[in-house]
């Protein structure tokens, strides 16, 4: 089976593909997204798209989907689409969602995430006295009463203390996923264990690290790639999939995207070896939006 067809059950009972095409690009986002997404869906075989209102690529995704639907390459029901609500829309989740649906050209998303547990003004300054859980409450209401526009809801960048507080909400909808930076240099063991206990799947963004894909250069990753005669990227993606996580790799290179990722049967020892790499000296590549650790004990303000 293609690695893109491998799935896991969400706590809603729906299936989520374990590898998604990430659609965040720092520059020339729309053009890069169109080229990359078309290669991902049409050539590589991806069926899971991860996007966000903040990425500015939803309209580009919508154009690609319209084209591929018209060609008969794919149908809406073949795909799993995730989008996210940015902190500037903390008090208007419905408006953010409707904008996403319009740009994507679809009637529903399979998963809606709260991008960060933060509340910002329209000019991206913290809102004094606001509670980020108000955003999740709106998401719960849309999930329950939104006419099917959202099939599941979840969170992103939530630490254990933040998850614990969320789960204390009255009549709470347990998040289907928590999307985090996860890779061998940042194993997130505490959050991983907590999510497993609560039936929350973990999605790993930046699985190759930051710019330059530093994780792919880790000696243990390179050794395993040589051992199995595959690429370091194949090892990283399979590491997440075989650990029960959703991997969110991203690439701007259409030819690289078309090749996809090979299935690799890692041993228990292989996975344990990778798990241990970042246990003592965790390293983050994605900086937080505020000067706060957001409950993550390992967070360093000068992550790079």
User: Is residue 137 predicted with pLDDT exceeding 50?
Assistant: yes
Rounded Cα gap, residues 153 and 132, in angstroms: 15
Contact by Cβ (8 Å): 43, 70: no
User: Is 240 marked as a binding-site residue?
Assistant: no
pLDDT at 252: 87
**What pTM was computed for the model?**
0.95
- What's CA 209's distance to the chain center, in Å? 14
pLDDT at 303: 44
Contact by Cβ (8 Å): 290, 72: no
Residues 90-121 pLDDT 10s: 999 999 999 999 999 999 999 999 999 999 99
How does strand 15-17 pair with strand 7-9?
Answer: antiparallel
pLDDT at 300: 59
Residues 161-217 pLDDT 10s: 999 999 999 999 999 999 999 999 998 999 999 999 999 999 999 999 988 899 999
Residues 248-281 pLDDT 10s: 998 989 999 999 999 999 999 999 999 999 877 7
How does strand 48-50 pair with strand 15-17?
Answer: unpaired
pLDDT at 304: 41
Q: In the predicted model, what is the mean pLDDT of residues 229-241?
A: 98
Residues 292-303 pLDDT 10s: 889 988 775 444
Residue-range domains of the chain with CATH: 7-281 (3.20.20.100)
Residues 4-51 pLDDT 10s: 999 999 999 999 999 999 999 989 999 999 999 999 999 999 999 999
Catalytic residue among 21, 24, 46, 55: 55
Known catalytic residue at 108: no
**Residue of higher predicted confidence among 291 and 97:** 97
| pLDDT band per the 50, 70, 90 thresholds, residue 152 | very high
């Amino acid at each position: 089976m293609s690695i893109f067809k491998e799935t896991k059950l969400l706590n809603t009972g729906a299936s989520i593909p374990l590898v998604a095409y990430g659609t965040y690009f720092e520059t020339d986002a729309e053009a890069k997204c169109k080229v990359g997404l078309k290669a991902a869906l049409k050539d590589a075989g991806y069926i899971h798209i991860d996007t966000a209102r903040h990425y500015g690529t939803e309209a580009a995704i919508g154009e690609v989907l319209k084209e591929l639907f018209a060609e008969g390459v794919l149908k809406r029901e073949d795909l799993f689409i995730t989008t996210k609500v940015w902190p500037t829309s903390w008090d208007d989740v419905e408006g953010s969602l409707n904008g996403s649906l319009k740009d994507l050209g679809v009637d529903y998303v399979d998963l809606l995430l709260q991008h960060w547990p933060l509340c910002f003004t329209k000019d991206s300054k913290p809102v004094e006295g606001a509670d980020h859980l108000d955003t999740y409450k709106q998401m719960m209401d849309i999930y329950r009463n939104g006419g099917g526009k959202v099939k599941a809801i979840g969170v992103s960048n939530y630490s254990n203390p933040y998850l614990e507080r969320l789960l204390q909400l009255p009549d709470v909808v347990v998040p289907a996923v928590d999307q985090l930076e996860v890779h061998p240099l940042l194993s997130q063991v505490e959050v991983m264990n907590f999510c497993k206990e609560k039936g929350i799947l973990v999605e790993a963004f930046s699985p190759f690290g930051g710019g330059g894909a530093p994780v792919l250069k880790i000696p243990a990753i390179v050794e395993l790639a040589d051992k199995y005669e595959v690429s370091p990227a194949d090892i990283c993606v399979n590491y997440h999939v075989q650990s029960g996580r959703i991997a969110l790799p991203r690439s701007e290179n259409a030819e690289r995207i078309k090749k996809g990722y090979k299935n690799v049967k890692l041993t228990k020892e292989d996975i344990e070896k990778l798990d241990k790499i970042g246990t003592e000296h965790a390293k983050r590549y994605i900086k937080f939006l505020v000067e706060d650790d957001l409950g993550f004990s390992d967070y360093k303000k000068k992550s790079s």
